[in-house]
Amino acid sequence: MIIRLSRTNTAEVQRRMLEIRDEGGVVALGRVLTLVVHTQIGAEEEAIRAANQASREHPMRVIVVSRNPDSVNAGEEPRLDAELRVGADAGASEVVLLQCYGELGSHLLGIVQGLLLPDAPVVAWWPSFMPETPSASQLGQISQRRITDSGKQADPRQAILTLAGCYSPGDTDLAWTRLTNWRAHMAALLDQPPYEPVASGVVTGDLGNPSVHLMAAWLRLRLQVPIEKVEAGDTPTGSSGLHSVELRRESGSSSLTRVRDSVGVLQQPGQPSHHVALSTRGLEDQLAEELRKLDADDMYRQVLLSIAEETR
């Protein structure tokens, strides 16, 4: 069910949500968190689809607040349009879409605050753009977890450095989330023979993708060895930007190379090559992973600081 409200206000949105609860039995009981999504007008649907899918693992209230860039907002009449989505149109969540026009777009905190679930964690997510300091932004100030995506920025490399300079516990980045499978495979590889120290490593991929730099920094931190980054050219569509990771040891090199979107080839000295699952996860899976943990990710913090130190 979708209910549309034009030229409305948050009090009216709250009243209609109470009516839906009373009439249809749609309640907030069992919702474990509030996900607040900040995006641009016209770009909401991809984020809503991902949130709806993720809600099957994390029942939640989804508040999508969208606005035009300031350059457009300046000439607009202030108004608030809203959509309420429940039932089949909202997965296991309830979705509140708030489209802010004009000066109203500068007051996001006041718009969403009355719609948050009581006594439940708040997660803020910027699917495309990101604020200069997520934790200091209006939505970041009320959130226990703040999800950005440096890979969607005009200058992803600079976006990582910006995040490193303003990191606050609870910050995370989907460019880091996309490395989960790679990191798991590399950790498992080092748990197998030959049990020799790693002398150096090479990370090959699209150097314009922040995940490549995050992976190299993680390996450098964990192994305490030099890690070289090499441009690979074309990488599989939709991938994390990584093409291969090679670790050099006395007996030879061990490597993991992506050969297709969901398949990698693992090679180790003295063993036959074999294929491993290296799936390219969709946005909904990346979001669901980040919603599983609301505490600080200290390894992500260390990786960010390592990248910042490397550039000095």
pLDDT at site 25: 57
Last residue of a domain, one of 173, 207, 231: 173
Question: What confidence score (pLDDT) does residue 109 get?
Answer: 93
**Would you say residue 282 lies in a domain?**
no
Residues 133, 28, single domain; the answer is yes
- Kindly give, in sequence order, each residue whose CB lies less than 8 Å from that of residue 296, ignoring residues fewer than 6 positions away: 169, 170
Same domain, 30 and 126: yes
- The distance from CA 194 to its chain's CA centroid, rounded to whole angstroms, is 35
Same domain, 10 and 151: yes
* Spatial distance between the Cα atoms of 231 and 191, rounded to a whole number of angstroms: 28
Residue 221, classed as helix, strand or coil, is helix
* CATH number of the domain bearing residue 134: 3.40.50
Q: Which residue has the tokens 């910006």?
A: 162
DSSP designation for 78: P
Q: Answer for the pair 163, 193: CB distance below 8 angstroms, yes or no.
A: no
Q: Two tokens at 220?
A: 């450098």
Same-domain pairing of 52 and 86? yes
Domain boundary among 125, 156, 173: 173
pLDDT tens, residue order, the chain (312 aa): 889 999 999 999 999 988 887 776 545 456 889 999 999 999 999 999 999 999 999 899 999 999 987 655 667 889 999 999 987 776 767 899 999 998 888 899 999 999 999 999 999 999 999 999 999 999 999 999 999 999 999 999 999 999 999 999 999 999 999 999 999 999 999 888 888 999 999 999 999 999 999 999 999 999 999 999 999 876 554 457 899 999 999 999 999 999 987 899 999 988 899 999 998 889 999 999 999 989 999 999 999 999 999 887
In a domain, 285, yes or no: no
User: Is residue 289 assigned to a domain?
Assistant: no
Q: Are residues 33 and 157 in the same domain?
A: yes
Based on the fold, state whether residues 84 and 130 are members of the same structural domain.
yes
Query: Quick one: tokens of 19?
Result: 């009516």
Judged on CB neighbours under 10 Å (0-12, 13-18, 19+), 45 is: exposed
CB 176 within 8 A of CB 211: yes
Within a domain: 258: yes
User: How many angstroms separate the first and last alpha carbons of the chain?
Assistant: 54
Number of domains in the chain: 2
Last residue of a domain, one of 173, 205, 234: 173
Distance of CA 252 to the CA centre of its chain: 36
139 and 191 co-located in one domain? no
In this predicted model, what pLDDT tens digit does every residue of 204-250 receive, in sequence order? 999 999 999 999 999 999 999 999 999 987 655 445 789 999 999 99
Do 9 and 110 reside in the same domain of the chain?
yes
**Whether residue 9 is found in the same domain as residue 155:** yes
Residues 48 and 156 occupy one common structural domain: yes
233 burial (CB, 10 Å; 0-12 / 13-18 / 19+) is exposed
Please check whether residues 186 and 86 belong to one and the same domain.
no
Both tokens of 308, joined, read: 């910042």
Q: Backbone dihedral region of 211: left (phi > 0), alpha (psi from -120 to 50 degrees) or beta?
A: alpha
Q: Which pLDDT belongs to residue 1?
A: 84
Q: Does 27 reside within a domain?
A: yes
Query: Is 75 within the bounds of a domain?
Result: yes
Task: Quote the pLDDT of residue 237.
Answer: 45
Asked if 38 and 165 sit in the same domain, the reply is yes
| Inside any domain, residue 8 | yes
Can you give the pLDDT at residue 310? 85
- Helices (H) then strands (E): counts for the chain: 10, 14
The token duo for 37 is 């999504």
pLDDT at 101: 92
* Domain that includes residue 251, residue range: 180-277
Residues in the chain: 312
Taking the alpha carbons of 82, 289, 243, 164 in that order, is the dihedral positive or negative?
positive
Q: Is 33 helix (H, G, I), strand (E, B) or coil?
A: strand
Q: What is the pLDDT of residue 254?
A: 94
247 occurs within a structural domain = yes
> What's residue 238's pLDDT?
46
